[in-house]
Amino acid sequence: MPSRRQFIQSVVATATAPLTAACQSAFGPSAIDTAWEVQERGRFTFYTRRASFASQSVDRLFAVLDDQYDTVEAMLDVRYGGHVQMFLYNSGADSGLGDDHSGVAYPDTLAVRAVCVPPLDGNLMVLLSHEFNHVITLNTLGRAGTAFMTEGIASAMISERFHSQGRHFLFPWTATHAGQLPAIDQLMDDAHWHDRSEQVAYNASASFLAWLLDARGPAPLKQVFNAHSNQIVDQMRSAYGVPVPQLETDWKAFCARF
Ligand SMILES: [Zn+2]
């Protein structure tokens, strides 16, 4: 059997669109060099450059990710015992990722690599949380069947304990952009995932799944999580008892009132 390893890459762009991301899959993590300061905190080991912003921020970043760990377990009603390695770089060039606001998750090796530059704000916390969420999600629910589910769930579960760029960004964004959003059943089709901008695809999927988790809990979501594009619309109707367009209408009405 070929290697199941993959990486998922994301880019968090600006303060006004903190959840924009671009993820890709590949086979196997790339080589990681050895020039690291190592700090272990609970369920995480942080690898940082010596005397870097990241190395000085480990206590705070640990608090954010430790809370994120608990948040995902609660939102999905799962238990996860994994110990996750966070490799935090000084720049896009240092990381090989090219951009100062980018990260990659390696769910199969329980690792994340990400650029960690100041300020220590919601953008940075969202980036690290999103990548960590890929690791815990794949290792508890298995591989999502669609790009919609892979990327949407990683941002839908962002905890807002240390910032307000989770639901307090997603739901107002949905209300503001309601007239321009692709239909959810189209977003769930991997053949059409790239039809719109990454920002629209990522934010719309995250917002819809955040609402769905809050409104209906994790049980029906788990039933459809692994469904592929050609199955998910039918499986959603079966799991939720109503067709996707009805859920979509309810979601947009909720966001309009939020
Ligand atoms: Zn991602």
Digits of tens for pLDDT over the chain (258 positions)? 333 334 444 444 333 334 334 444 333 456 666 689 999 999 999 999 999 999 999 999 999 999 999 999 999 999 999 999 999 999 999 988 888 889 999 999 999 999 999 999 999 999 999 999 999 999 999 999 999 999 999 999 999 999 999 999 999 999 999 999 999 999 999 999 999 899 999 999 999 999 999 999 999 999 999 999 999 999 999 999 999 999 999 999 999 999
Where exactly are the structural domains of the chain? 8-141, 147-257
Which architecture does CATH list for 8-141? 3-Layer(aba) Sandwich (3.40)
Q: What's the pLDDT at 4?
A: 36
- The CB density around residue 147, as the number of other CB atoms within 10 Å, is 21
Give distance in angstroms: CA of 156 to centre of ligand 1. Answer: 11
Give distance in angstroms: CA of 218 to centre of ligand 1. Answer: 20
Write out the E strands in 13-83: 37-41, 44-48
CB neighbour burial string for 32-46, b if at least 16 within 10 angstroms, e if fewer: eeeebeebeeebbbb
Give distance in angstroms: CA of 152 to centre of ligand 1. Answer: 8
Give distance in angstroms: CA of 144 to centre of ligand 1. Answer: 12
Give distance in angstroms: CA of 53 to centre of ligand 1. Answer: 23
Give distance in angstroms: CA of 234 to centre of ligand 1. Answer: 25
Give distance in angstroms: CA of 185 to centre of ligand 1. Answer: 20
Q: What's the pLDDT at 99?
A: 86
Give distance in angstroms: CA of 100 to centre of ligand 1. Answer: 16
Q: What's the pLDDT at 32?
A: 63
Q: What's the pLDDT at 29?
A: 55
Give distance in angstroms: CA of 253 to centre of ligand 1. Answer: 27
Q: What's the pLDDT at 164?
A: 97
pTM beyond 0.85: the answer is: yes
Q: Quick check: helix, strand or coil at residue 86?
A: strand
Give distance in angstroms: CA of 200 to centre of ligand 1. Answer: 14
